[in-house]
Chain A
Amino acid sequence: MTATQEQEVGAARRRKEDAHLITGQTTWTDNIQLPGTVHAALLRSPMAHARVRVNVAAARNEPGVVAAYSGADLADELAGLPSAWQVTPDWVAPEHKPLAVDEARYAGDAIAVVVADTRAHAVDALDAIEVDYDPLPVVLDMEQAIADSSPLVHTEAGTNVCFRYSDTFGDVDAAFANAPVRITRRFVQQRLVACAMEPRSVLVAPVPAAGEYTVWSSTQIPHFVRLFLAMLSGVPESRIRVIAPDVGGGFGSKLDIYAEELLALTLARKLGRPVKWTETRSEAFQATVHGRDQIQDLELAADADGRIRGLRVNLLADMGAYLQLLTPAIPLLGRAMFPGIYKMDAYEFGCVGVFTDKTPTDAYRGAGRPEATFAIERMLDELAAELHVDPLEMRRRNWIRHEEFPYAQIAGLTYDSGNYEAATARATELFDYDGLRAEQARRREAHDPVQLGIGVSTYTEMCGLAPSRWLGERGYAGGGWEAATVRVLPTGKVEAVIGTSPHGQGHVTTFSQLVADTLGVPFDDIEVIHGDTAAAPAGLDTYGSRSLAVGGVAVWRAAQRVLGKAKTLAAHLLEVSEDDLEFSGGTFAVRGTPGATKSIQEVAFAAFAAHSMPDGFEPTLSADFVLEPDDFSFPHGTHLCATEVDTETGRVTIRSYVAVDDVGKVVNPMIVEGQVHGGLAQGIAQALHEGARYDADGNLTTGTMVDYTPPTAADLPSFTLDRTETPSTNNPLGVKGVGEAGTIASTPAVVNAVVDALRPFGVADVPMPCTPENVWRALHEAQGGAA
């Protein structure tokens, strides 16, 4: 008897994923050592914009070198890299060659490749490549880039404008004309680097005679990599197998089709040998996509009591030098989220996508949603300050009430469910809101050099990009569905094959819990197969907190189908009608007939042996399901942060942080907490620590871990977490999504707290990251000093 009665969903099951990770038995792409492998190294332009003439001849004579090519050498063989989201009909999408042919457009743009017997030889031989650089004018600043006189990133495009997009909902002019209160602010979302701990790596092994290729890549999207490599190379999809083995984090930065993937395939094809490329961390800073980088101009109109009437948003969004897979879509993903959880009569959104001579931007944890949430949550605090109302009270006056869900918000989305009151009540309780406000007042009174600030963030986000039709209407080339197969093997063990491709999120554990409950089989009897297009051929991979809300529901649906099939066969074997069966704990029992039972494991063997089946029954106990979701789901929550700000040094310390998130039904609370912790760290990093910076010539001056300063254990506090559970009404499991929540919510909570601490000094904003220097300058400027 192997059936289990325990409820798996909701249990803090320890992860199946951990065993090999804590013992070092890992398969990171760079760990794979195939005989005969040659190693690729890339020469990258040290100049942000230059005409280049590259001569690789001398490199070919260096020790161990097998081949060397310039961009011009491979121009005919290498297709341009794709951008899959055409955001406007008249967007400008300049060709993006994996190796720049005669012009480099950012510092780090690859211009030549060397292949050698060892990585060290390949890197050594780069020195022998001769390059003439003719410097061209560099444009780095977005406002300057869209001025008529600006130098151009892509001369042939004739403009640095990638697209202009606008949308209006309601009568915006009327809303503003009649409003007694108006607030105007500019926020800058600094450029961020994802810094996944595993650098990108790709290995392509050809079977030359068969024209087949196995590609290992540290990617979030093996299915898309296969599709695009096939489209770009002409090798049929069925001859390309892409494996995302152990992948050491992604956060959006591995949601891309990269130059090096296409290059490695092309070289493996030419050379007939396995080709490996692994980026150094310095390359990762330069040539893996960056995130954020927006200038946000906002205007808010409100009544005298603070009720929001209208919102205007104008964005400049930095594309960098080229469009990667989703580059232009990222700022537009935030379009519908600027209204946040608030009601308003009118909303206007405009965005200009701008090319500059910098690393391309693309998805980074939250992708467009953190930027939008930051802006509206900062504006709510500014409105509260303007009207001398407590920021929590200001939110209560404007938010959608629990009984109003589902709620069609101003920008066209329908929020499935939410209870902002409950999450906020719980958060204020855990935080001791009133006590901290009292302490803040005392410190202000006493002119304490260390001031206390309290930051509020009440957010919602959209998870699980879908439905496919919605995506298609907005210019996205792909869909939003997800696929799963569940099979009960002859021994009764179960395989769940999923189309999502985890890189730390714990899908194996979570999905095992879902299947265990559905089929009544032990958690340990379930294997989850993923990340290999040969084993899991259909799927749309992992990003945007879609895995549970879309992929998990697909797995559950497939398991339901298996159960239906099992019931049909069990009824046949027990010679009763299906209506006479009840199923519990993994066993079908005939109602009213003790002892007449078939376990799901017995049924599985019978389905495999196929000796006795009802008419039309397909042997084996297996089913597929491809889920097309009805809509997004919208997790929400309330985060409260207390910061101590030293007005003499500008140093900010997080004193306490409370996060109450509502991510719908929770399958594994331990994994949910872990996701929130990690998300908070990244959101706080944007608020206080990180920012990619360039000098006037376009050199990345934050190109190492030392300069970029991702937070260490000593830089972060412990967090107090709790949750409320308001199930989604858009899927049968009631699940929503959690991967991005912490990042989205925390950046405004922290910056609101910093500004709150300094408001008595006349400070209305501190630019991110709120480093001691930026805080000190903001204070100094507010007090009339020249900073």
Chain B
Amino acid sequence: MTRISVSVDGTEAVDEVEPRTLLVQYLREQRGRTGTPVGCDTSNCGACTVLVDGRAVKSCALLAVQADGAEVTTIQGLANGELHPLQKAFHEHHALQCGYCTPGMIMAAVDLLDEVADPSEQQVREGLEGNLCRCTGYQNIVTAVRDAAAELRGATS
């Protein structure tokens, strides 16, 4: 067992973890952050995407010990009080059906919009290439992300 201290969605935590524990397992099983789901075992689907120190990371591709000292944000910590513009846009544009990919999509999109404030359709499509959705055909996701981008630009300008 290894002791790690992590900030998860704004709450400081000190936990004992097995060295082989994946970050996603730690978040789900030890911190009860089950809003982040697991979709694959090849780090390929993006369902488990969270922010580690502000950058989108597939939490199944990281060991919990690697997050020692980091600040982790999951979908459950994204909204503080009111919805994040991306959450609103996903709702508004029907960018989710079953919703299983949604937390990962939104977290990946947060990072994408942080890098590219005004992405083209193609940039969104390529930026979200690491996140699979089986329900929506992606079209509404792309629309939602671009719409949220506009709102975020408005908010910061």
**Least distance between B61 CB and chain A CB atoms (Å):** 13
Where chain B touches its partner, the secondary structure class is: loop
How many residue-residue contacts, CB under 8 A, span A and B? 177
Q: Is there contact, CB below 8 Å, between A673 and B94?
A: yes
Q: Is there contact, CB below 8 Å, between A197 and B132?
A: yes
Q: Contacts A197-B98, A197-B133, A504-B97: A704 and B39 contacting too (C-beta < 8 A)?
A: no
**A714 CA to B129 CA in the complex, in Å?**
6
Residues in A whose Cβ lies below 8 Å from that of B20: 120
**A679 CA to B139 CA in the complex, in Å?**
12
Q: Is there contact, CB below 8 Å, between B40 and A281?
A: yes
Q: Is there contact, CB below 8 Å, between A678 and B135?
A: yes
Q: Is there contact, CB below 8 Å, between A23 and B35?
A: yes
When each residue 221-259 of chain A gets 1 if its CB lies under 8 Å from chain B and 0 otherwise, what string results? 000000000000000000000000011110100000000
**A504 CA to B135 CA in the complex, in Å?**
8
Residues in A whose Cβ lies below 8 Å from that of B128: 712-714
Q: Contacts A26-B34, A281-B41, A714-B129: A249 and B98 contacting too (C-beta < 8 A)?
A: yes
Q: Is there contact, CB below 8 Å, between B137 and A17?
A: no
Q: Is there contact, CB below 8 Å, between A677 and B136?
A: yes
Q: Contacts A18-B91, A24-B36: A248 and B138 contacting too (C-beta < 8 A)?
A: no
**Least distance between B66 CB and chain A CB atoms (Å):** 18
Q: Is there contact, CB below 8 Å, between B100 and A197?
A: yes
A670 at the interface (CB under 8 A from B): yes
B121 at the interface (CB under 8 A from A): yes
B56 at the interface (CB under 8 A from A): no
Q: Is there contact, CB below 8 Å, between A24 and B76?
A: yes
A166 at the interface (CB under 8 A from B): no
Q: Is there contact, CB below 8 Å, between B45 and A22?
A: no
When each residue 11-33 of chain B gets 1 if its CB lies under 8 Å from chain A and 0 otherwise, what string results? 00000001010000000110011
Q: Contacts A713-B128, A713-B138, A718-B121: A22 and B96 contacting too (C-beta < 8 A)?
A: yes
Q: Is there contact, CB below 8 Å, between A704 and B40?
A: yes
A469 at the interface (CB under 8 A from B): no
Number of A residues near B (Cβ < 8 Å) is 56
Q: Is there contact, CB below 8 Å, between B39 and A15?
A: no
Q: Is there contact, CB below 8 Å, between A706 and B35?
A: no
B59 at the interface (CB under 8 A from A): no
Q: Is there contact, CB below 8 Å, between B98 and A503?
A: yes
| Interface band, chain B | 35 or more
A681 at the interface (CB under 8 A from B): yes
**Least distance between A588 CB and chain B CB atoms (Å):** 36
Q: Is there contact, CB below 8 Å, between A22 and B135?
A: no
**A54 CA to B90 CA in the complex, in Å?**
50
Look across to chain B and name the residue whose beta carbon is closest to the beta carbon of A717: B139
B140 at the interface (CB under 8 A from A): yes
A608 at the interface (CB under 8 A from B): no
B55 at the interface (CB under 8 A from A): no
**A33 CA to B31 CA in the complex, in Å?**
12
Q: Is there contact, CB below 8 Å, between A671 and B94?
A: yes
B149 at the interface (CB under 8 A from A): no
Q: Is there contact, CB below 8 Å, between A22 and B137?
A: no
Look across to chain B and name the residue whose beta carbon is closest to the beta carbon of A283: B41
**A280 CA to B20 CA in the complex, in Å?**
17
Residues in A whose Cβ lies below 8 Å from that of B142: 713, 718
**A670 CA to B136 CA in the complex, in Å?**
12
Q: Is there contact, CB below 8 Å, between B102 and A21?
A: yes
**A679 CA to B37 CA in the complex, in Å?**
23
Residues in A whose Cβ lies below 8 Å from that of B157: none
**A350 CA to B78 CA in the complex, in Å?**
56
Residues in B whose Cβ lies below 8 Å from that of A199: 38-39
A705 at the interface (CB under 8 A from B): yes
Of the listed residues B40, B78, B130, the one surrounded by the most CB atoms of chain A closer than 10 A to its CB is B40
When each residue 40-74 of chain B gets 1 if its CB lies under 8 Å from chain A and 0 otherwise, what string results? 11101101000000000000000000000000001
Query: Pick the contact of A674 from B75, B129, B140 — CB < 8 Å?
Result: B140
**A615 CA to B4 CA in the complex, in Å?**
71
Look across to chain B and name the residue whose beta carbon is closest to the beta carbon of A27: B34
Give residues 137-175 of A contacting B (CB, 8 Å): none
**A742 CA to B97 CA in the complex, in Å?**
15
Q: Is there contact, CB below 8 Å, between B100 and A248?
A: yes
Residues in B whose Cβ lies below 8 Å from that of A605: none
B8 at the interface (CB under 8 A from A): no
**A673 CA to B97 CA in the complex, in Å?**
11
Q: Is there contact, CB below 8 Å, between B140 and A28?
A: no
Q: Contacts A22-B83, A25-B76: A197 and B34 contacting too (C-beta < 8 A)?
A: no
Q: List 27 A-B contacts (CB under 8 A).
A: A15-B94, A18-B90, A22-B91, A22-B102, A23-B83, A23-B87, A25-B76, A28-B34, A30-B38, A31-B28, A31-B37, A195-B132, A196-B98, A197-B39, A198-B98, A248-B98, A249-B134, A674-B97, A674-B135, A677-B136, A705-B45, A706-B42, A712-B125, A712-B138, A713-B126, A716-B125, A716-B139
Task: Give 9 new A-B contacts, CB below 8 A, not counting A22-B91, A197-B133, A682-B134.
Answer: A22-B83, A22-B99, A24-B34, A24-B74, A26-B35, A504-B135, A710-B132, A712-B129, A718-B142
Report, nearest first, the 5 A-B pairs whose CB atoms are least far apart.
A24-B35, A248-B100, A21-B99, A504-B98, A677-B137
